[in-house]
Structure 1
Amino acid sequence: MTQRIAILGAGVMGETLLSAILSSGHPVDHLVISERRDDRAAELREAYGVEVTGNAEAAAGADVVLLVVKPQDVPALLQEIAGSVAPGTTVVSLAAGIRIEAIASALPDGVAIVRAMPNTPALVGEGMFGISPAPAVTEEQLAAVVTLLESGGKVVVVEEALQDAVTAVSGSGPAYVFYLAEAMIAGGVAEGLDPETARILAQQTLVGSAKLLAGSEETAEELRRRVTSPNGTTHAAITTFDERGVKAGLVAGVAAAAARSAELSAPQ
């Protein structure tokens, strides 16, 4: 039986999931999205042919409810839909830092809760979702969530205690890649390239390298070694990176992001 999916929140990520789920073949008449603004609702109906309604109405009768709103808006949203979510419903929260316990305390008993950390490459179908199920979530319910989110990228299942690490590696990770791109472009310009040529060179190098890494059985370390000839140009660059503490700085940055995630998600 085809599940009825409700997406609560029609921002960028909400629309991204809407588009991805429909592209995966899920029937539009089994999907609903919530939006308060009339003009935005009209846009979504026109673009996707989807039902657009209020939060409580969307949640009522849904098998899976995706919470795709800002963290600060979650408490009010949970209060609004508490009377509409039936036991047996799976609620998936994509709001950063909101713990399963906080969601469970606001909803009826018997609701299956899954916490998820997405990232922005989901916008191009290459997202990374780290998800954590509550203990009561069944294998069938978890499998349904994995299948649903795989429409927007890849999914890994981790214990909730590791969500801060997931946030630090993949949630914030796209910014690290963009930061590296900035540095590569700046380095190229400093060596005489015009900014546009430097951008194209850096951008395609990152795209190609990511595809190579994703499609290889080799580790990142081994792939790096393969293009690092002794005393060659790459060796000169890597040696300089090590001397300047680039790798150590990145590792420390991931640790700082994880620590900040823990602070933000701590009970108030």
Structure 2
Amino acid sequence: ILPLYTLTINKQKAKLVKKLIKRFLGEMDIVNSVPRLGNKHDDGIHIFVDCSNIVIGFYNRLKVNRRINPAVYVKQPPISYHSLALILERGRAVKKRILVGSNPRHYASERGLPDYMQEAQLYGYEINMLERVQKMRRFTPRKKKNGSGNGYATTSGQSSGSETVFSGVPIVAEQGVDEILQMKLLESLVDTQKPSTIVLASGDAAEAEFSGGFLKCVERALSKGWKVEVIAWKDGLSQEYRSQRFVNKWRDHFTIIELDDFCEEMLAVYISKPTSA
């Protein structure tokens, strides 16, 4: 996959910052956000990233932008975690940065962390990497009912969601990823005296295999006075978060931010210098 426009890395970051300023008019610290990545402050926001949900959604969005059939295999394009972090943090002080994901069993031992996870570490993100396991595909009651927002299917029958009715089809899938991220989120609710803002990078609202799911965690946070931002791809965002009941109840403390408009700025393909006229 090639970029739709060819820019140097500095010009691409400047383009992203310009988009963020236009989208978030009241957040003037966005201009200073690039050098502030990695800051830590006790009163800062708490960031939780469902890595597979975001990365697979990124691949899918790039295909849509180029009118590539989603079923067609293409080499996975590089994602800039720096750009994702700019979108998540936007120059704000940060208390906690958590990223949870998984790799095929052979990948972690042979190649180490993917480049974007190594990049995330540079900006202070705690990396929790699990191996995928073989299990029977499951479907949660909410997934069966609504059919959306429970992660994305990966290649080779792998899955980015935690599923719970057997289909009888064995797959290689994540196990425990959602639950660990939810546990980290709940730790923030318990350990933080003054409510802050939770930034949840995942559109998944379905029940997990061993927990009530992200929606329950989000509702717990909101009920305790926290603000919550759900940052996700439009096609991977559960309708639970858009339901009239949910919106009416939490509209003053809950925000949805779609990543689709920033997709091209997250593609880590640049030119070394501007082309001559």
TM surpasses 0.5: no
Provide TM-score, normalisation by structure 2: 0.32
| Rg (Cα) greater in structure | 1
